[in-house]
A = this chain, B = another copy of it.
Amino acid sequence: MTFDREKASLDMIQAGRAFYQFGWLLGTSGNLSVRASDSTFLITASGKNKGELQTDDFLLCDLRAAPAEPTIHKPSAETLVHSLLYAADPKIGAIFHVHHLDAALCSTRDEAEGETVFEGLEMIKGLDIWDRERISVPIVPNHLEIPKLAEAILGAMTNVPSVMVLRHGFYAWGQNAFEARRHVETLAYLFSYAYRRPMS
C-alpha cells in the first residue's frame, strides 16, 4: 500500500486539535506519528503547538530517528521512542504521545506498584481488548537520556497498547492513526476514572 502523506497529516492535525482542546498537549508537549513504510514514519516537528498544526509541520524520519528527507524541521528528542517502537513491531502503524494530567497523577500515586490498574470498566473494549476484566498500563521511569527511555518503554511493552512514563505522559499506538487516536481517548478516560474513583 502506498503512503498517503496528505491523509496522514490531516489525521494528525485533527487528532492534535482534539487532544489540545481537551488539555492533553499543553505547551507544545507531545508528539504524533504515522508509519510511512517499513523503515520510515511521518512525525510532528519539534516545538510546534500541537493544537494548531499545519500541513508542513511534519517530517519524514527513519528508524534511527534521523530525517529521511530534506527538511527545515528538527525531529524532537523523543522521535527515537517512535523509531524503536516501529522497528520492534511491524503491526504498529501510528504512535501518539500525550501529556495527560490524570495519567501523570496516577503515575505518582501508583509509582511503587509500577502500573496503573483498570478494572471492570466497559471502556477497556476501546483498546480492542474483549476477554479481560482487568488490565494495566506499565509505568517506566522518566530517564533523561532518550535512548535509555526508549529502551525502558520497549522493555515494558505488554499486549495493552500503551506505556506510561512517570510524571511525564503516555505513549499509545495502533495499526493506523484512527486506532491510535481511539486508544489515546480511551486511555484518557481510563486514567481519569482511575484517579477519581471512589475509595472503598
Interface residues of A (CB under 8 A from B): 14, 18, 21-23, 26-29, 49, 51-52, 99, 101, 104-105, 108-109, 120-123, 126, 142, 165-169, 178, 181-186, 188-189, 192-193, 196-198
* Docked complex Cα distance between A169 and B192 (Å): 15
User: Chain B nearest CB: distance from A177 CB in Å?
Assistant: 11
From A166, which residue of chain B is reached at the shortest CB distance? B120
Interface pair A192/B101, CB less than 8 Å apart: yes
Q: Are A108 and B167 in contact (CB under 8 A)?
A: no
**CB of A190 to closest CB in B, whole Å:** 9
Chain B residues with CB under 8 Å of A142's CB are 120, 122
**Could you say which of B27, B49, B183, B198 contacts A27, with CB atoms under 8 Å apart?**
B183
Whole-angstrom distance between the alpha carbons of A14 and B166 in the complex?
32
How far does the Cβ of A172 sit from chain B's closest Cβ, in whole Å?
A: 11
Chain B residues whose C-beta falls within 8 Å of the C-beta of A167 in the assembled complex: 120-122
CB nearest to A169 among chain B residues: B122
Are B123 and A29 neighbours in the complex by a CB distance under 8 Å?
yes
In the bound complex, how far is the Cα of B22 from the Cα of A51, in angstroms? Answer: 13
A-B contact pairs, 16 of them (CB 8 A): A21-B21, A23-B189, A26-B126, A26-B188, A27-B183, A27-B184, A27-B186, A27-B188, A29-B123, A49-B178, A49-B181, A99-B122, A105-B198, A120-B142, A122-B165, A123-B168
